[in-house]
Structure 1
Amino acid sequence: MNPTGNTILITGGGSGIGRELALRFAGLGNKVIVAGRRAAALDEVAAAAPGIATALLDIADGDAIPGFAEQLIRDHPELNVVIHNAGIMIAEDLAGDFLATAEASVATNLLGPIRLTSALLPHLRTRRNAAIVTVSSGLAFVPLAATPTYSATKAAIHSWSQSLRHRLAGDGIEVIELAPPGVQTDLMPGHAADPNMMPLDDFMDETMALFATQPTPAEICVERVGILRNAERGGQFDRVFAMLNGAA
């Protein structure tokens, strides 16, 4: 992926990792469109740096995505990079009614990226230096039992990214997976102030350095997520699972 000269859509761009990706990529000379449900948050990001535009989107609303994609391409015909960052992470009480939470997690974290890619792929096939960036999680590789559906959606995103990368290689479209560890954001209550989470600025510094590597790695994994990413391949899955969930 080229580090500059792109037109980039970032879903969930109003806060957390999405907001910081928008500011960092805009600072490198890219045009960035931040998409999300909250106009005020998007406007704040756009005001923070030149080269950032906004677009309202509820990624969980499948009926809204085709129209959103058509308008996006009309407004930004040079679009060549999509970063599927929007996501929700909600603990599930298995002793109660957790189905609504599970369904919302699947609609946002898994169906949203699939639907939006389907809507934008014909356009991306016409663009040079096109790239699709998915955002999974370290929990794709070792699940957090308190958030079973979130972890499952991120495992699915990892698998989907691998298949998409293989299928689109002949079209010249890069597929890059960003797999964060726990980061100090508002993804879940308490995360932003949790000293066990990786500071957001540290995560972004390491992540952007990896994005700048040429060729860009197929997986963007900061050092801190390695214990989760490599648990199974290193024969340490049971130990890491117990450690993660014993502390949860």
Structure 2
Amino acid sequence: MKTSGNTILITGGGSGIGRGLAEAFAANGNTVIVAGRRRSALDNVVAANPNITAIELDVADLASIAAVVPALLRDFPALDAVIHNAGIAKVEKVVDGDVADAEATIATNVLGPIRLTAALLPHLLAQPSATILTVTSGLAFVPLASSPTYSASKAALHSYTESLREQLKATSIEVLEIAPPYVQTELGGAQQATDPMAMPLPEFIAETIKIITGGATGEVVVDRCRPLRDAEAKGAYAATFAAVNAMHG
């Protein structure tokens, strides 16, 4: 992926990793559009970064995608990259039998990227070069039992990304996967943003951009996420699973 001169849509761009990536890519000379459900969060991004544009989009809502994409492509005909970052994470107790959080997680974390990719694909295929980036998680490879659907949704998105890359390998579209570790954002609640066990957000963004700038192909995995990504291959899955769930249980 070229790191400047792109026009990039970033979902979930109002806070956390999405906002961090938006600001980094904008600083590198890209046109950046952040999308999200919360107008107040989007307005905060634009107020701090007048060179970033914001649009309201709920990736969990097929009607929202259908309404927003045509206007987006009309206003930004040079759009050549999308970062599927929007996501939700819930703690679930499966014995309660309530699947509302699970269904909402799948709608946002899995169906959202699939539907938005389908809506953007004809346009992206017509570009000289384009990039689709998904944001998964280290928990795609070693799940956190207290957030079973979140972990499963990221595993599903990892698998989808692998297949998408294979199907598009003969086209002008590059497919990348960003797999974050536990990062200081508010994804899991306000306490996560200051949790000393989590990777500071600026460090994660800087290392991620460095990897992409270095010509990454396929997966973008920072060093802090390597123990999760490589656990099974190194024969350390059981020990890593136990450690992750003891830490966050």
Deviation at 1:48, TM superposition (A): 1.9
- Higher alpha-carbon deviation: 79-88 or 204-213: 204-213
CA drift of 1:47 comes to 2.3
Write out aligned runs for 1:13-92 (5 A).
Answer: 13-92=13-92
Inter-partner Cα distance in structure 1 for 2:93 and 2:211: 37
Show CA shifts across 1:176-225 (max 9, x none).
000000000000122111111101111111111011112x2311100000
- After superposition, what is the alpha-carbon deviation per residue over 1:25-50, rounded to whole angstroms, capped at 9, x for unaligned? 00001000000011121122122224
User: Does the CA-based 8 Å contact 2:12-2:86 persist in structure 1?
Assistant: yes
Other-structure match for 2:220: 220
Task: Determine whether 1:167 maps to 2:171.
Answer: no
Q: Distance in 1 between matches of 2:206 and 2:179?
A: 15
Q: Distance in 2 between matches of 1:58 and 1:66?
A: 10
Mapping for residues 1-248 of structure 1, pairs under 5 Å: 1-189=1-189, 190-214=191-215, 216-247=216-247, 248=249
Give the whole-Å Cα distance in 1 for the aligned partners of 2:159 and 2:131.
Answer: 17
Are the aligned partners of 1:181 and 1:224 in contact in 2 as well (CA < 8 Å)? yes
Q: Is the 8 A contact 1:6 1:30 kept in 2?
A: yes
Contact persistence 1:30–1:51 (CA under 8 A): no
Partner Cα distance (1:121, 1:223) in 2: 32
**Which amino acid in the other structure matches residue 109 of structure 1?**
N
Structure 2 residues not aligned, in runs of 5+: none
Shift of 1:96: 1.8
Aligned-partner SS, 2:233:
coil
Deviates more, 1:163-172 or 1:2-11: 163-172
Gaps of 5+ in 1: none
Q: Give the residue type in structure 1 aligned to 2:42.
A: L
- Pairs aligned (count): 247
Please tell me the residue identity of whatever aligns with 1:3: T
Contact 1:27 1:49 in 2 (8 A): no
CA RMSD of aligned residues (A): 0.9
* SS of match in other structure, 1:58: coil
Separation (CA, whole Å) in 2 of partners of 1:65 and 1:57: 7
Identity over aligned pairs, percent: 54
What do the CA deviations read for 1:163-186 (whole angstroms, capped 9, x no partner)?
A: 100111111200000000000000
- Displaced runs of 4 or more, over 4 A: none
Deviation per CA, 1:51-73: give whole Å up to 9, x if none.
Answer: 31111011111222122111110
Aligned to 2:8, the other structure's residue is in SS state strand
